[in-house]
Amino acid sequence: MKYSILGLLFFMNSFCQAQLFWRQELPTILDTPWEIEFGPDRYLWVTEAGGKVSRVDPNTGDKLDVYVAPDYFAGDSSEANVFCPNKQIGFGTFGLALHPEFLVPDSAFIYYVYSYNHGDAQNPDTKFKIVRLKWDENTTSVTQTDDLIINLPNGYDHWGGRLISAKMSGNNYLFYSNGDLGISEDADPSCYSNQADNPNNFTQDPDSLQGKIHRFNMDGSIPADNPISGNSFYSRGHRNPQGLAFNPTKELIYGVEHGDRIDDEVNVLRAGMNYGWKDVRGFANDGSHVGEQQFANTYAPHPNIAGDQLVDPIYAWCSDPSLNGSSWNEWCTVAPSGAEYIGNSEIPEWQNSLIVTTLKDGDYTDKSLRVLRLNDNGDEVIYEQTFFAEDQDTNGRLRDVAVADFGTVFLINNGGADRDKITAYHYIMVCGPWPPLDLEIFPNPSNGVFNFHSPDTIVSAYVYSLTGDLVDEQHGELYFIDLRHVSNGYYRIKLVDSEGRIRNEMILRE
């Protein structure tokens, strides 16, 4: 048996600028995953094609098929756009959210979104719905299914589809992002015989559901303090918001949306606010869209929406109109999809960041994870870093992300690689609060006994599973670590010095 130390950097001090991750593909077989969430039960929850919800063990990749919607419907050719015959009606499985008190048996609810037939066999009418599943952890099965919100609108493009739960001011809410449902009139001007019929013209109208963020109570009812009484409308002026994330410390909701050729946006979503589309794109004052400054200057708040205000994004990619090239590759969109807020310090450099997956490999962008470091209030982006772009051809189009409480980043892809999969990046502490030991380990690979050479004394070695469970520990004045008795797999090792400080982390494969 051979044992190898992976992901260990010798002379680590010289690498202190960079976060180090060790990449792993889980063996899980997935079909078109759209949402991944790390649950409080420490499993990964995933939506897949065909109205499916799956639960994946982050340590082994073992998958449990939790539920497949019996009424899932993938649209009908009769619903295709008559002016654009190639544009089929939308269908799919989209966002998923777990109840904020998911570990309490009475609140063990899973919420997710999929397409179904709101008409009948003769006259199909594909719509989306939010369904609530009651989860029984003892039998690991769904014991009850409820249609929570039906008849969510559909179209030919820009569906949005993200769902999150959030506890704000002591109340639990469900947020759903509905795209403008329009086909871009710039890219496909003939797709509506009369552009006034294009649903993307209704994003400013609070009485139409498209181009909105909606807020519901966890039972699907409408919160009494929504901006308009009896209306699920929470914010408007959105194009194709595919990312929603919640900052529980500041109780902020972030929305991430695709722009049209330029101006992909990150917004802090607040009740009743107007995010501009399609009159204002990205920032109102940068001239990226004709007339946007004028629109902002003469903005009249909607009389029925208390506190209505036109709001700039907190961040926009590609606001320069000259980056609007003639081909798809030349458009400077990053195509942001899933988002998550990182509040904990498992990856210290990312604490208090919004992380965003991107779908596009274009001239200006690669498929990657964008890390937006936030200010203390969570409402400004201080700087951006890009990760994992060097792996874009093997990682694929990054649809969504989940980060586990043990500091591992899980990505799902929607095509663009050899298969649909879960890719894990395990964080390895290179620069903790104390300098790493100048460590020499030999032999590597070994038969399971690794010797150390270090000027400092190592007194403890802890061996964890990659998902954070302690599997072995060795103490004393250590000159070697004996790993011959740990079973097959990958492990994370932490070395502690005589002052109790974690000095080194490394990944081991047995």
Give the residue among 249, 299, 297 at the shortest CA–CA distance from 274: 299
Q: Which strand ranges, in their side-by-side order, compose the sheet holding 458-465?
A: 4-6, 502-509, 490-497, 458-465, 470-478
Give me the amino acid identity at 421: K
Q: Are 60 and 424 in contact (CB under 8 A)?
A: no
| 264 is a site residue for Ca ion (CB under 5 A) | no
Judge whether 14 and 421 are in contact, CB under 8 Å: no
Sheet containing 449-453: give its strands across.
Answer: 440-442, 449-453, 480-482
282 is a site residue for Ca ion (CB under 5 A): yes
Work out which of 215, 281, 399, 494 binds Ca ion, going by CB under 5 A.
Answer: 281
Identified binder of Ca ion from the candidate list 400, 458, 478, 503, rule CB under 5 A: 400
CB of 106 to Ca ion, least distance (A): 24
What is the SS3 string spanning 400-426? EEEECCCCEEEEEECCCCCCCCEEEEE
Pick from 28, 54, 201, 288 the residue near Ca ion by CB under 5 A: 288
Q: By CB under 5 A, how many residues form the interface with Ca ion?
A: 13
CB of 453 to Ca ion, least distance (A): 43
Which one of the spans 6-14, 31-39, 131-139, 468-476 is the region binding Ca ion (CB under 5 A)? 31-39
Q: How far is CA 203 from CA 155, 198, 275, in A?
A: 13, 11, 10
Q: Measured between alpha carbons, how far is 316 from 289 in angstroms, rounded to an integer? A: 14
361 near Ca ion, judged by CB under 5 A:
yes
Long-range contacts, stretch 51-54, CB < 8 angstroms, 24+ apart: 51/93, 51/114, 51/115, 52/93, 53/96, 53/110, 53/112, 53/133, 54/30
* Distance of closest approach, residue 292 Cβ to Ca ion, in angstroms: 5
User: Is the CB of residue 222 less than 8 Å from the CB of residue 232?
Assistant: yes
Binding piece for Ca ion, criterion CB under 5 A, among 20-28, 276-284, 299-307, 432-440: 276-284
d(CA 58, CA 64): 12
Of 182, 276, 407, 436, which one interacts with Ca ion (CB under 5 A)? 276
Does 260 bind Ca ion (CB under 5 A)? Our answer is: no
Among the residue ranges 156-164, 183-191, 278-286, 469-477, the one whose residues contact Ca ion (CB under 5 A): 278-286
Binding of Ca ion by 37 (CB under 5 A):
yes
Is 320 among the residues that bind Ca ion (CB under 5 A)?
no
Q: Which stretch binds Ca ion (CB under 5 A): 75-83, 287-295, 406-414, 462-470?
A: 287-295
The answer to whether 286 contacts Ca ion (rule: CB under 5 A) is yes
| Interface with Ca ion (CB under 5 A), residue from 101, 366, 438, 472 | 366
Residue nearest to Ca ion according to CB distances in the complex: 288
Q: What is the DSSP letter of 19?
A: -
Residue nearer to Ca ion on the CB measure, 320 or 349: 320
Q: Which is nearer to Ca ion, 214 or 239 (CB)?
A: 239
Stretch that binds Ca ion, among 37-45, 55-63, 437-445, 451-459 (CB under 5 A): 37-45
Q: Which residues bind Ca ion (CB under 5 A)?
A: 37, 265, 275-276, 281-283, 286, 288, 361, 366, 400, 402
